[in-house]
């Protein structure tokens, strides 16, 4: 399970976020102070750190500065009452603004993990769809989706090539690897149709007519 450290003083908010992310396959450890999360970070590095920008015992920027000095490659996602303006925050993926939807937070976490490394090699996302190769688990939002072997291989291949069109011929060869056994184009079409149905007709799984398919984020969440 992917480990997330979360610095948040409000127990109600912390527990709501922790419960929601647990349903999506993340293990969240909550820390109410900077000192406590620093102590934990000195013992183990998580996949991502989630930080409330405004803390009573020190602004979240102080923790960010410490993280950048000691853990330069660690993904950090801020939660702020408004867009934080600070030299340490260099990418729009680094924060979400209150109030926020939990689904939007989940998408931002998955996007940041994939962009920054860490769990990214084994964890692929597109919109609210995620695929964890280590656990062979596919989720649509917080719902776990059970796929057949061919559906799973199809989704994995498209996720690994996110943003690029994959031809039907390439998919047929990569998914079934049949050698001399003939597999028709209709087999691929039927598999894509079943996959789309199980993923609730995702906008991010696009058909490139007469060519193939492409996974692509449908829109940027801000």
pLDDT at 83: 57
Which one of 13-17, 68-72, 77-81, 170-174 scores highest in mean pLDDT? 13-17
Report the distance separating Cα 215 and Cα 139, nearest Å. Answer: 15
| CATH number attached to the domain at 2-120 | 3.40.50.2300
Give the domain ranges of the chain.
2-120, 129-215
Residue in the block written with tokens 């989706």 = 145
**pLDDT, tens digit, 9 for 90 and up, residues 131-188:** 877 778 898 887 889 999 999 999 999 998 888 999 999 898 888 865 545 677 889 9
CA 123 from centroid of its chain's CA atoms? 7
Which residues are CB-contacts of 63 (< 8 A; sequence separation ≥ 6)? Answer: 7, 34, 37, 38, 51, 55
- At CA 216, angle to CA 191 and CA 98, rounded to 5? 125
Confirm if 25 and 139 have CB atoms less than 8 A apart.
yes
Report the distance separating Cα 49 and Cα 78, nearest Å. Answer: 8
pLDDT at 69: 75
CATH 1.10.10.10 describes domain 129-215: yes
Report the distance separating Cα 63 and Cα 61, nearest Å. Answer: 5
């Amino acid at each position: 399970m992917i480990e997330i450290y979360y610095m948040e003083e409000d127990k109600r908010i912390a527990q709501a976020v922790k419960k929601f992310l647990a349903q999506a396959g993340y293990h969240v450890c909550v820390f109410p102070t900077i000192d406590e999360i620093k102590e934990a970070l000195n013992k183990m590095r998580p996949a991502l750190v989630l930080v409330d920008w405004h803390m009573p015992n020190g602004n979240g920027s102080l923790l960010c500065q410490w993280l950048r000095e000691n853990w330069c490659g660690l993904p950090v996602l801020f939660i702020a009452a408004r867009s934080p303006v600070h030299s340490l925050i260099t990418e729009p993926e680094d924060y979400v603004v209150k109030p926020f939807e939990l689904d939007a937070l989940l998408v931002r976490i998955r996007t940041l993990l994939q962009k920054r490394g860490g769990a990214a090699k084994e964890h692929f996302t597109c919109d609210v769809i995620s695929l964890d190769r280590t656990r062979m688990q596919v989720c649509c939002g917080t719902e776990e989706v059970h796929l057949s072997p061919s559906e799973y291989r199809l989704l994995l291949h498209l996720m690994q090539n996110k943003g690029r069109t994959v031809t039907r011929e390439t998919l047929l060869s990569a998914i079934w690897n049949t050698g001399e056994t003939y597999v028709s184009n209709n087999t691929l079409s039927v598999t894509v149709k079943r996959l789309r149905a199980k993923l609730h007709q995702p906008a991010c799984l696009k058909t490139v007519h007469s060519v193939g398919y492409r996974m692509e984020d449908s829109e940027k969440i801000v």
